[in-house]
Chains A and B, each alone.
Chain A
Amino acid sequence: MWWKITSVILLLYAILAGFLVPLKSGIERVEPNVAQTGQRLSVRFFGYNTFFSRPSQEPIRVWLYYNDRYALMAQDVRPLNDTILEATFQMPANLPDGRSFVTLNALADHPAAGASLLPVALTLRQVDTTRAPLDSAWTAHPVEKLHLQKGFSFPYQNILYETIRNTYFHVPMWFVLLFLFAASVWYSVKYLRRPEADFDRRAAAYAEVGILFGLLGLASGMVWANYTWGKPWSNDIKQLMTAVALLVYFAYFILRGSFSDPEKGARLAAVYNIFAFASLIPLLYILPRMFDSLHPGATGNPAFGTQDLDNTMRAVFYPAILGWTLLGFWIADLRVRLQRLKDRAMGLD
């Protein structure tokens, strides 16, 4: 009983925190996003969750920077409102490293609200090709003494925006699937060692609810993908391998049901279940690492990188995983009890 209450409390926490904790501020885009050397240019910064017009003692500092060494600081910064800021830059006469164009990152540092960043915000082109010593504007005001964003908030990422919150709803589905399939194979092994009907019932129920969560993971992923990757199904390696894994488990139920002698079916299904669970490791954990993927992590790494999950997110993500997992086992428990009743009613047990 206690674990069912825990599940409800954890899920309530995950849903409330998952929706209510604000996103960190970021910069959505700058306008214009192309410029030429020598130009005097006013650039508009469009912020997300920013507080540009919040009063502060020190001035807001704004940069377009190339790397650690070369940065251009805005000469004049004027917040129009909380989310739009106008910064005037005097573009230097030439570019670092003798390049003909550079892409610059946009950075706005508000002393009270903290710094927000947009990578690859603006392209700066060289107009004349005369080589001159590098303009001192590039090194006069390096990016330094940035202010941190305070408060409990989730990371801002372009394209994702608020959908980063799906981490607490889509991603735990795969954890529940794995835990349920693990429980399923555990009872299959138990059944092979001692053929008790209840072990077989449990193995089947955990596999069935595992498939349910796999389907939910696929469906929720397709909704998320539609608005971030552009279409619901991109033949991403993880999408494909998950579909294959679910087919492997569908076959478990076909195999289990295709014997007139239920004991024989249960025994063969238990053996098959071990192979099915073993196939999950290459399907979900090895193959996705070998191909490019749209999923986060380097080159299809199915796990999260350190940039994808900060400590604030962990404080919601781990309770969410536990909450969903307990819910999955709760539903599977109902399924076991239902099957027990059915077998008893039909005189099989």
Chain B
Amino acid sequence: MPRTILTFVLWLGLSLPAAFAEGNRDFMRETGKIYVVVATLVVIFLGIVGYLVRLERKLTKIEHLTKDDA
């Protein structure tokens, strides 16, 4: 499940700017390049979310471990 979410978020983050770029080739360079700042923040956000997903998966494994003991 986390893997599906991560894949979806990555797909969203990577394909959406490309979709905008198709309609207007200089989308990222327009309006003072403000969307470059948006993209930077999106990259950082996705990176942190990706790490949290990884942590969650490790936590799930530990939960299974302790369940076996009980």
Contact = CB atoms under 8 A, between A and B. Distances in A.
A48 interface: yes
A227 B41 contact: no
A6 B41 CA distance: 20
Interface in B43-70: 43-44, 47-48, 51-52, 55, 58-59, 61-62, 65-66, 69
Contact of A220 (B32, B33, B34, B44): B44
Interface stretch (A55-63, A139-147, A166-174): A166-174
Contacts of B69: 345
Nearest to B51: A212
B31 interface: yes
B34 A162 contact: yes
B36 A169 contact: no
Question: What class of interface size applies to chain A in its complex with B?
Answer: 20 to 34
A169 B52 contact: no
Contacts of B5: none
B33 A161 contact: yes
Nearest to A215: B47
A161 B65 contact: no
B4 interface: no
A interface, by DSSP: helix, strand, loop or mixed? helix
A338 B62 contact: yes
A57 B9 CA distance: 54
A28 B19 CA distance: 28
Contact of B37 (A165, A338, A341): A165
Given A173-B44, A216-B43, A166 B62 contact: no
Contacts of B32: 23, 48, 161-162
B18 interface: no
A183 B7 CA distance: 32
A331 interface: yes
Given A219-B47, A331-B48, A338-B55, A227 B62 contact: no
A264 interface: no
B62 A345 contact: yes
Contacts of B48: 212, 216, 327, 331
A110 B41 CA distance: 35
B24 interface: no
7 contacts: A162-B31, A162-B36, A166-B37, A223-B36, A224-B36, A224-B40, A338-B62
